[in-house]
Amino acid sequence: MITQDELKVLLDYEEDKGIFRWKVSNNNRVKVGDIAGSLESKGYIVIGIKGRKYRAHRLAWLYVNGKILLEQIDHINHDKADNRISNLREVNVQDNIRNGAMGKNNTSGYKGVSWKKDISKWRVQIHIDGNKKLIGYFNCLMKAARAYDEVAKEAGYHDNHINFPVNGLGGQENTWKKRQSTSGYKGISWDRGIKKWRVQIKVGSKTKFLGSFNCLMKAVGVYEAEFIRISK
């Protein structure tokens, strides 16, 4: 296992960018100043040192804090390649599971919320202490998403890993006000050309256009209604 002193002899770490640069040249392919590491299939940056591969986020923690953590390290913004020290925090296994990114198969666009076809309602579930807990069933998608958040906050979930952060209307980050390009809601995007919210939904392999709206909440309602209709 590499030590902090050994690491600092070999590499420089730029905390604000989350990248490592080589301080030594070990072969013809690596020059001093080159960015170290490569992207692996799971999305992490890995760096080879003396025949052993290390994930860059663990090396970043070692470089700054002087130790390789036995517990897990959470990428706060879910980007496994973003190894800025400000984006890393020490967590246990359960914390890392509950703060994970939204599943690829999620159909609602909200964490913990899925459509229960047999009763035509939104089902809300959450993982607490390794167990899946049923929060309840809801007719309204927005109420379901907020019910999840209420329990998630009580369970100590990080603010970046709930549906409605304190400073935002929805999604994992409140960026729509700043850039007017993403709504934070599934199927809804900002159309700069007409300055309206564009609503689309995937039906099989095709994308269906549902309309353009001045009001974001109206757009959300249209998407939700169509989702329920095609799910029956």
Judgement on whether residues 199 and 120 belong to the same structural domain of the protein: no
Judgement on whether residues 37 and 71 belong to the same structural domain of the protein: yes
Residue 191's DSSP bridge partners are 196
pLDDT value of position 12: 97
Judgement on whether residues 52 and 112 belong to the same structural domain of the protein: no
Judgement on whether residues 113 and 71 belong to the same structural domain of the protein: no
The CATH number of whichever domain residue 220 belongs to comes to 3.30.730.10
225 burial (CB, 10 Å; 0-12 / 13-18 / 19+) is: exposed
pLDDT value of position 215: 79
What burial letters (b/e) apply to 26-60, b meaning 16+ CB within 10 Å? eeeeeeeeeebbeeeeeebbbbeeeeeebbbbbbb
Q: Are strands 131-138 and 72-75 parallel, antiparallel or unpaired?
A: unpaired
Domain end, chosen from 67, 91, 115, is at 91
pLDDT tens figures, 106-132: 667 788 898 888 888 889 999 887 788
The count of domains in the chain is 3
Confidence of residue 148 (pLDDT cuts 50, 70, 90): very high
In order of 21, 122, 146, the CA distances from 137 in angstroms are 51, 5, 12
User: What's the mean pLDDT when you consider all of the chain?
Assistant: 82
pLDDT tens figures, 1-32: 899 999 999 999 999 999 999 999 877 788 99
Q: Which two tokens stand for residue 209?
A: 């256009």
Domain end, chosen from 32, 65, 91, is at 91
Question: Could you give the percent of the chain with pLDDT greater than 90?
Answer: 36
Q: Which amino acid is at 70?
A: L
Range of the domain at 103: 93-173
Q: Which amino acid is at 166?
A: V
pLDDT at 176 over 50: no
In this structure, are residues 10 and 29 in contact, taking their beta carbons and an 8 Å threshold?
A: no
Judgement on whether residues 126 and 103 belong to the same structural domain of the protein: yes
How far apart are the C-alpha atoms of 211 and 181, rounded to whole Å? 17
Judgement on whether residues 140 and 61 belong to the same structural domain of the protein: no
